Structure 1
């Protein structure tokens, strides 16, 4: 275990549901992204906020030595089971906090990847510093971060959910602030990375589900921590039906598949940091 994960409030959030049910809809895009990174045999990779291995598994299949780190013990267990089933001895999972990788050696990895993972950790300045610290000179950090106010799926799920939940505690920094380029540059700049070594561009992840959009809504309702919390809060004042209706309307409007085949693209900010 890296750092004191018990002190991280996100541990309860991500262990509450079963994100593997959502991750299953994201596998194709995870593999596609990893193929674009030039991973080769022997590349040392850290996948931070790895879930059950949507990007860690394809990286290991390409020959990299991969360590997946996640705050949620259930996702670490699920990833370990997937690695064992695939026979990937070059892929290990362990529990840890992206904002405190205490016990992890400096300059250990050629590539640090965090796709919709480290963005949810508290203390974003610490997250940037830790990612830079464990990256080798000449190595890269690649993040995928949801963008606040973006009209596509996940930003809208989070926006709708927030309208049904109590205000966050004082001092809370929204995860989607990682989707703002100026914030990315400020955070990595404070960690010693010059502006010219940071690139940001919009890219797309696609959610695929072999069924109608309302089934995918129910997967988010039952298994995705933020929407689970929103439904729990909405239930308290009799608004859970309204929340589900809003989400079904969103999913229906954005679905590019058929009535019984859900295909929904979601825009994110792809960040690449090159450590000198």
Structure 2
């Protein structure tokens, strides 16, 4: 098992994904999806964007490196009776099992950005998209003041240094990097558009309980907490995360959480 697969099979990301459903549906609703459109959702998790696309009539394939999330996605569509959506294991760096130009629309919302070889990812995204189709990525932005960038920054501060050659997934949130990577895939800069957008994490629990979900179920935070425990700093990490979540919570209800997070929306037209 490679390190990226181990990270995302750790815990149970479906527990975090539940808080992302509303924004996933809203994002997909703005993509102009029509019946019969061939859609690939890369780094799909258990279907936060794949399932809304299928409900709009697209023929959807979700691909994720985490086998537990693939199984969870297939279980969800089975329960819903969605026959136009399926999930399979795959690596965003090497989609050799998928044909060239097979999809009209390729979506990757906070998914492919975490794969370890970004240039390979960009090339594969371009390869599997038909000419005249679209690629839509959602990428977290480094040093952004909103939740996810700060969560990952805090987690990194409690974690061991990354291995040599590690490329931070947050580099996908820098426009010049995106242009360079897709340029390696043969895409001109004028075929790439950028916009900042907002994703909401909504949970029917107070922020402190939501922090517990990240510590128990979200791979990067789980690793940070394990490292903090070894150094006797677990209490410090929890306190810092609870303050972060409480400060960003916009819910007017005391027992609920609604936290916005800014991301970079990338649209590529091969």
TM-score (structure 1 length as normaliser): 0.97
Match of 2:122 in 1: 128
Say which SS state the counterpart of residue 19 (structure 2) adopts.
coil
Q: Displaced runs of 4+ in structure 1, greater than 2 A?
A: none
Separation in structure 2 between the aligned mates of residue 233 and residue 124 of structure 1, nearest angstrom: 27
Of the candidates 87, 94, 114, which is equivalent to residue 93 of structure 1?
A: 87
Separation in structure 2 between the aligned mates of residue 197 and residue 215 of structure 1, nearest angstrom: 43
Separation in structure 2 between the aligned mates of residue 271 and residue 166 of structure 1, nearest angstrom: 31
Match of 1:231 in 2: 225
Match of 1:23 in 2: 17
Say which SS state the counterpart of residue 101 (structure 1) adopts.
coil
Match of 2:254 in 1: 259
Say which SS state the counterpart of residue 270 (structure 1) adopts.
strand
Match of 1:143 in 2: 137
* 1:190-229 pair list within 5 angstroms: 190-229=184-223
| Alpha-carbon shift at residue 165 of structure 1 (Å) | 0.3
Matched, 1:156 2:147: no
Matched, 1:268 2:269: no
| Alpha-carbon shift at residue 155 of structure 1 (Å) | 0.3
Of the candidates 78, 94, 99, which is equivalent to residue 84 of structure 1?
A: 78
Q: Deviations over 1:157-207 (max 9, x none)?
A: 000000000000000000000000000000001100011110011000000
Of the candidates 174, 179, 185, which is equivalent to residue 179 of structure 2?
A: 185
Separation in structure 2 between the aligned mates of residue 200 and residue 167 of structure 1, nearest angstrom: 31
Say which SS state the counterpart of residue 98 (structure 1) adopts.
coil
Match of 1:247 in 2: 241
* 1:63-78 pair list within 5 angstroms: 63-78=57-72
Separation in structure 2 between the aligned mates of residue 181 and residue 68 of structure 1, nearest angstrom: 26
Separation in structure 2 between the aligned mates of residue 17 and residue 133 of structure 1, nearest angstrom: 32
Pairwise CA RMSD of aligned residues? Answer: 0.5
TM-score (structure 2 length as normaliser): 0.99
Say which SS state the counterpart of residue 24 (structure 1) adopts.
helix
Separation in structure 2 between the aligned mates of residue 201 and residue 63 of structure 1, nearest angstrom: 26
| Alpha-carbon shift at residue 55 of structure 1 (Å) | 0.1
How many equivalent pairs are there?
269
Separation in structure 2 between the aligned mates of residue 9 and residue 139 of structure 1, nearest angstrom: 32
Q: Where do 5+ consecutive residues of structure 2 fail to align?
A: none
Match of 2:166 in 1: 172
Separation in structure 2 between the aligned mates of residue 255 and residue 99 of structure 1, nearest angstrom: 35
Q: Where do 5+ consecutive residues of structure 1 fail to align?
A: 1-5
